[in-house]
Structure 1
Amino acid sequence: MPAPHLVLPPTDRVLSPLTGWTRAHWEALADRQLAALVPYATPGFAQYRLPGRNSWSGVVSDGLEGFARSFLLAAFRIAGAGGAVDPGLVARYAEGLAAGTDRTSGEAWPELTDCSQQMVEAASIAIGLHETRPWIWDKLDTRVQERVVDWFSGFVGGTTWDNNWRLFQVVSEQFLASVGAPHSRSDIDGGLDRIEDWYRGDGWYSDGDGRNFDYYIGWAMHLYPLLWARMAGDDDGGRAAVYRERLTQFLATYPHFFGGDGAPVHQGRSLTYRFAAAAPVWMGALADCSPLAPGLTRRLASGTARHFVERGVPDERGLLPLGWYGTFLPATQAYSGPASPYWASKGFLGLLLPAGHPVWTEREVPLPVEESDQYTALPQPGWLLHGTRHDGIVRLVNHGSDHNLLEGTAQDDPHYAKFGYSTATAPETAPRAWERAVDGHLALVAPDGTASRRRRIHPLVCADRRASSRHEAVYPGTEDAYPVVTTSALHGPWEVRVHRVRAPEGAAVREGGHAVADEAAPHAERGPGWALTRTATGLTSAVVALYGWDEETGIAREVAANAYGPHSATPFLTSAAHPGGASVHVTLVALSRDTVRPGALREAVTCAVDGDRVRVGFPDGTELDL
């Protein structure tokens, strides 16, 4: 596919047989984004006020965000080229530092106060200043350096949110230490000590207390400690070795999150950061701790960047819109402003590696899903990853991440509450679709159509090709909670879900498959005990009733509800008029770019239920006790 809004160098199919991309492509992509920001700069370049919906932090904070996050990209570009870039690039950010810290400039940055958005942006500025020290910091007027230090000093003794934000304080105060400015050693050590409470093992952190697993683990929890270590040097107290070992473990399975077309699994918040999903693989190479072959590191990162570029990101203005491909606000969060997507800059960390580094000079090697079908159990987040070589799709089966604290009131979020995510689909996130709650969900449905929610997820088992969890379904209109225990098992290209449900008399039970989306309304078919939706490109989602469902099935259609396209559709099964008490429901879930024949599957896949025992048999003779 061509890049519709970007002029790129010629592809190199010898060095990069899978993506064609080289370091020159990354530099061209960085340069285009940086140049496109200039028309939106304030006169002194201290803020970039981009078009789009403002965040809840306000226009000035959003302008600072535009400076800070793009400075991170500029820093990687400047340092990676040894300063051999357009002098105007260096000058713009040096000038912006002077104006942003000048209270009389008319475009001064907000002061750093406890738990303010400025803390997030300060960390990017600190990293940028450290990486470009010979070209920017060392050449700043002494009075400007003093003002920069004074602005950063708002961190000292300050309070941040108790999650990945602790690391913003760590790197910012370490920068102060590196330039001989007053700082708090206890702030730095306290933040680094705090993330130890969130380390779960096998390379996995939670982002704060609770079960908060998403891309923040890679682009924040692993990234900032090792960027801090670059600042701290030999004065790291032995921490850097620990962080490198953890990243090594994390990266061992990280390539399994990426589809053959380069797309990352669409799960979690802040997905508008897009290219940032590549940050941990570059960090592994930069910290010399990656278990991945250099050619796999570049193939993963370049594949991800190319995936978005070919789908119009950046857009015709050279900007990164709030969304996944184009602008799509339902997939964003209230804290996301028009410059928020520029945390994508983290995905350009590889530019810090010299042009002669093996990640740039060794031949690309395939992703795991390009070599064979993949089944990966991740017990810490409670996920199964399921990749199929023939269509390049990776699916994530979620039995562990809910983005809630361990105690207290729990909420559900479409980016965490679903049973299934993938590299080819997104959850339905527009408010009306989320209220309807069909896709990727098992619901108790009241007579008025209101569905129960999956809020706090209690993981039970995650090993080999199966995982299970429990959640309490609160029946709509009441405070009565009914346990739902779900087991997922993978076989071939399919997932089988077994739901052991307790429900009140008269409730309906409903299960939805993956929502598929496209520019045109997806095709839909239904038959006895099955339903299917298919896009014009052949992406098919199907659900097949194996046990406990009515013959009648349904299709839920939505418009402007999905990040993958304006028209979306989800197949679903129903079981109406529950008798009350316990029931078992067994579903085969399919998502494929191959032909799916759900009627034939229903005939060929057997299911026997005896009390609480479920046995599923497949055409190849395999039998699973679930």
Structure 2
Amino acid sequence: MKLPAEDRELSPHTGYTRRHWEAVADGLLGAAWRWASPGGAFLDLPGRPSVSGVRSDGLEGYARTFLAAAFRVAGAKGDDPHGWLGRYAEGITAGTRDPGREDAESWPLILDHDVQGQPMVESASVALSLRLTREWLWDRLDTAVQDRVEDWLRGALRHVPAPNNWYLFSSTVAGFLEAVGRGDAETARARERALGLLETWYRGDGWYADGDGRAFDLYNGWALHLYPVLDGYLTGEPSVHGRRLREHLAGFRLFFGGDGAPVYFGRSLTYRFAAASAIGLGALTGNTPLDPGISRRLMSGTLRYFLDRGSVGEDGLLSLGWHGPHDASLQHYSGPASPYWASKAFVCLLASPDDPLWTDVEGTAPSEGPDTVLAIPSAGLLVQTTGADGVVRLHNHGSDHVRPHEPDSAKGEDPLYARHAYSTRTGPTAAGNVRDNHFAVVVGGVRSARRRIQPIGAGNGDGWGWAASWHNPVFASGPPMVPGLRVESVTVARGRYELRVHRVLGAPPGARVELTGWATGPGESVLRPLLGWTGQDELRAPQGTAFTRWAVVPRLTADAEGTAIFAALASLSAEPQEDVEVTAGPSGLEARWSDALVTRVTFDPIEVTGA
């Protein structure tokens, strides 16, 4: 991938300009097209197939790279020096000639999500790309080809999506068909259904749940905000969705470390710099609280972060993983072309070259400024940044990956949601290794899992913040639950420190409790006992994380029976530690910090105050 020379006057932090974004898009497209089928309908990238099979994976390669090409060419007002759109026109002509047929070019049909659903995901990228490039591609197709494309796309309107952001895929297809004069009652129903569900998923503070449960993650930016806000931008119709994006970015701006890394949290992390799509979308549409130079700093920072750390292999392709290949970052639906949903980040190219997004001097990333703690009560999240090192920590007291109808089962635990804390420099340990940032009750030698998270509250103080939740511990062997057993958890974040308080209720005789800290290299983090803990050691995670091949996890242990309160001080830093004194009271505890701030955590009900 050949990039232009850095421009440190315009972009003092990253060196990247609009020309770099265009060059990256061209480089990724050129490498991917080396793996095209003869007619260009499939881009069959090398690698392990997804659960959907190689034909769906090939369509995914076509559709997701098409999105990058569409943003690239539409942002250049049709200038297409590499002839990308001609290739996609040939591919769509071949792919829709006889959908469902088992030949070299025919696309798979779009069916229900539990039958053959992945093509529905890709239909949204195809439809959005056609909409963006209408005058240079769609309008030049033969009417017969346009009819075939419409017939294939309508499969997304006639089949059942997954019960989450997938409903926005059919809405995106409907939006394209209406934009080209092919709308009808069927397209209207699809849009009405999707937008209606989106309203029920909105929780406030700019955050949507990804479905009827409590999954809050990066899908907020690259799906739940992107599709409706971009639709409103293309139609010229302002809506509530733009205002919600602005509110979302007020907190989401803190999710990027000083090195450009987004917080490693939630599923589909192999989409990498797609995390920046919401930043670019806000700048493009004017729905952002950020100055243009700060928006570009965040966007270019995360793009460069991944390019500098091996996300693109020697073959020019995005690998399945985080930095480089990393299996623990993947889901069963991840295929060789899945990482190309990173193409969504190129939405920023729709902003013209003379837009302040590209002409203003880069600003400083919010995580590089003063230490900040921000509570997001609607999602049960607590964001903590430290300007000295630019590290972002995310404390999770409200986001899980459990659908409302699913049981609390330890066998369904997802490390990408179940941990108490995540960051821009650490990832959860792999399954089979010790759990990091986890509070476990050990009964009969079996450690509990944290599955369904019930938020209690969150709030901001003066330079500090807190969040609290409770859960019923579940076990992978033996009885799945212990009657009456419950864990209440509180995190108080301040500077680089985290006061972690847990109350156990209903612990059976012989039970033990364990608390683990950050998974890092040796000596890079601290977990110090303050109240209730009697044992302290370190465990090894030989499979490491997305950031290190091998990790050390600090652990505290104690016996527990009935009701008991435990407190510890954690820090993702080996710097000199804060001196905190904790005293227990009849209804909670009091923590006195070295500068005389007193934090009180009380239970029944849970309240956190500081003075």
| Shorter-normalised TM range | over 0.9
Aligned to 1:472: 472
| Cα distance in 2 for residues equivalent to 1:87 and 1:320 | 20
Q: Is the 8 A contact 1:384 1:462 kept in 2?
A: yes
Aligned to 2:415: 414
> In the TM superposition, what whole-angstrom CA distance separates every residue of 1:268-320 from its partner, at most 9, and x where no partner exists?
00010001101111111222222210111100000000111110121211111
- Give the C-alpha shift of residue 565 in structure 1: 2.2
Q: Choose the corresponding residue for 2:575, options 584, 590, 596.
A: 596
Q: Is the 8 A contact 2:373 2:494 kept in 1?
A: no
Letter in 2 for 1:75: A
Q: Choose the corresponding residue for 2:94, options 81, 91, 99.
A: 99
Q: Does 1:570 align with 2:553?
A: yes
Summarize the alignment of residues 85-96 of structure 1 with structure 2, pairs less than 5 Å apart.
Answer: 85-96=80-91
Q: Does 1:285 align with 2:283?
A: yes
Q: Does 1:340 align with 2:371?
A: no
Aligned to 2:363: 365
Task: Give 3-state SS (helix, strand or coil) of 2:106's partner.
Answer: coil
TM-score (norm 2): 0.93
Instruction: Go from structure 1 to structure 2 and tell me whether the alpha carbon gap of 1:415 and 1:279 turns closer, same or farther (over 3 Å shift).
Output: same
Q: Is the 8 A contact 1:402 1:412 kept in 2?
A: no
Letter in 1 for 2:177: L
- Give the C-alpha shift of residue 582 in structure 1: 0.9
Q: Choose the corresponding residue for 1:441, options 438, 444, 449.
A: 438
Task: Give 3-state SS (helix, strand or coil) of 2:584's partner.
Answer: strand
| Cα distance in 2 for residues equivalent to 1:442 and 1:155 | 43
Letter in 2 for 1:439: D
Q: Choose the corresponding residue for 1:560, options 543, 547, 552.
A: 543
- Give the C-alpha shift of residue 447 in structure 1: 4.5
Letter in 1 for 2:553: T
Aligned to 1:512: 516
Q: Does 1:618 align with 2:598?
A: no
> In the TM superposition, what whole-angstrom CA distance separates every residue of 1:528-577 from its partner, at most 9, and x where no partner exists?
xxxxxx3xxxxx11100001111x3222212234111211121111114x
Q: Is the 8 A contact 2:267 2:416 kept in 1?
A: yes
Task: Give 3-state SS (helix, strand or coil) of 1:286's partner.
Answer: helix
Aligned to 1:374: 372
Task: Please identify, of 178-187 and 583-592, the stretch whose mean Cα deviation from structure 2 is larger.
Answer: 178-187
| Cα distance in 2 for residues equivalent to 1:275 and 1:457 | 28
Aligned to 1:145: 146
- Give the C-alpha shift of residue 227 in structure 1: 2.4
Aligned to 2:246: 248
Summarize the alignment of residues 134-283 of structure 1 with structure 2, pairs less than 5 Å apart.
Answer: 134-181=135-182, 183=184, 184=186, 185-231=188-234, 233=235, 240-283=238-281
Aligned to 1:527: none
| Cα distance in 1 for residues equivalent to 2:468 and 2:311 | 37
Task: Please identify, of 478-487 and 31-40, the stretch whose mean Cα deviation from structure 2 is larger.
Answer: 478-487
Aligned to 1:483: 486
Q: Is the 8 A contact 1:170 1:228 kept in 2?
A: no
| Cα distance in 2 for residues equivalent to 1:390 and 1:328 | 29
Instruction: Go from structure 1 to structure 2 and tell me whether the alpha carbon gap of 1:407 and 1:109 turns closer, same or farther (over 3 Å shift).
Output: closer
| Cα distance in 2 for residues equivalent to 1:26 and 1:182 | 34
Letter in 2 for 1:227: L
- Give the C-alpha shift of residue 474 in structure 1: 3.2
Aligned to 1:519: none
Q: Choose the corresponding residue for 1:583, options 560, 564, 584.
A: 564
Q: Is the 8 A contact 1:312 1:326 kept in 2?
A: yes
Task: Give 3-state SS (helix, strand or coil) of 2:321's partner.
Answer: coil
> In the TM superposition, what whole-angstrom CA distance separates every residue of 1:404-438 from its partner, at most 9, and x where no partner exists?
23454134211111111001100012x312xx4x3
Instruction: Go from structure 1 to structure 2 and tell me whether the alpha carbon gap of 1:143 and 1:466 turns closer, same or farther (over 3 Å shift).
Output: same
- Give the C-alpha shift of residue 597 in structure 1: 4.5
Q: Is the 8 A contact 2:374 2:383 kept in 1?
A: yes
> In the TM superposition, what whole-angstrom CA distance separates every residue of 1:420-474 from its partner, at most 9, and x where no partner exists?
1001100012x312xx4x31100012343x3101111111110010111111113
- Give the C-alpha shift of residue 341 in structure 1: 0.5
- Give the C-alpha shift of residue 134 in structure 1: 1.6
- Give the C-alpha shift of residue 26 in structure 1: 0.7
Letter in 1 for 2:4: P
Letter in 2 for 1:170: S
Q: Does 1:451 align with 2:456?
A: no
Q: Is the 8 A contact 2:41 2:62 kept in 1?
A: yes
Task: Please identify, of 308-317 and 138-147, the stretch whose mean Cα deviation from structure 2 is larger.
Answer: 138-147
- Give the C-alpha shift of residue 182 in structure 1: 5.2
Letter in 2 for 1:190: R
| Cα distance in 2 for residues equivalent to 1:112 and 1:277 | 27
Instruction: Go from structure 1 to structure 2 and tell me whether the alpha carbon gap of 1:422 and 1:269 turns closer, same or farther (over 3 Å shift).
Output: same
Q: Is the 8 A contact 1:557 1:569 kept in 2?
A: yes
- Give the C-alpha shift of residue 39 in structure 1: 1.9
Q: Does 1:432 align with 2:411?
A: no
Q: Is the 8 A contact 1:412 1:456 kept in 2?
A: no
Letter in 1 for 2:21: W
Letter in 1 for 2:432: R
Task: Please identify, of 90-99 and 299-308, the stretch whose mean Cα deviation from structure 2 is larger.
Answer: 90-99
> In the TM superposition, what whole-angstrom CA distance separates every residue of 1:53-83 from its partner, at most 9, and x where no partner exists?
2111110000000000000001111111222
Letter in 1 for 2:141: L
- Give the C-alpha shift of residue 492 in structure 1: 2.4
Aligned to 1:461: 457
Q: Is the 8 A contact 2:429 2:543 kept in 1?
A: no
Q: Does 1:544 align with 2:544?
A: no
| Cα distance in 1 for residues equivalent to 2:502 and 2:233 | 48
- Give the C-alpha shift of residue 325 in structure 1: 0.7
Instruction: Go from structure 1 to structure 2 and tell me whether the alpha carbon gap of 1:565 and 1:17 turns closer, same or farther (over 3 Å shift).
Output: same
Task: Please identify, of 474-483 and 365-374, the stretch whose mean Cα deviation from structure 2 is larger.
Answer: 474-483
Aligned to 2:604: none
| Cα distance in 1 for residues equivalent to 2:154 and 2:404 | 34
- Which ranges in structure 2 are unaligned for 5 or more consecutive residues? 602-611
> In the TM superposition, what whole-angstrom CA distance separates every residue of 1:250-273 from its partner, at most 9, and x where no partner exists?
111111111111111110000100
| Cα distance in 2 for residues equivalent to 1:340 and 1:309 | 17
Q: Does 1:128 align with 2:129?
A: yes
Letter in 1 for 2:498: E
| Cα distance in 1 for residues equivalent to 2:541 and 2:588 | 37
| Cα distance in 1 for residues equivalent to 2:564 and 2:163 | 41
Q: Choose the corresponding residue for 1:322, options 320, 323, 345.
A: 320
Letter in 2 for 1:409: P
| Cα distance in 2 for residues equivalent to 1:198 and 1:9 | 42
Letter in 2 for 1:624: T
Task: Please identify, of 15-24 and 62-71, the stretch whose mean Cα deviation from structure 2 is larger.
Answer: 15-24
> In the TM superposition, what whole-angstrom CA distance separates every residue of 1:121-159 from its partner, at most 9, and x where no partner exists?
000000100111121111122222121111112233332
RMSD: 1.6
- Which ranges in structure 1 are unaligned for 5 or more consecutive residues? 1-5, 517-521, 524-533, 535-539
| Cα distance in 1 for residues equivalent to 2:272 and 2:338 | 11
| Cα distance in 2 for residues equivalent to 1:242 and 1:473 | 39
> In the TM superposition, what whole-angstrom CA distance separates every residue of 1:69-109 from its partner, at most 9, and x where no partner exists?
00000111111122222343222111111111112763111
TM-score (norm 1): 0.90
Aligned to 2:35: 40
| Cα distance in 1 for residues equivalent to 2:308 and 2:468 | 37
| Cα distance in 2 for residues equivalent to 1:613 and 1:160 | 47
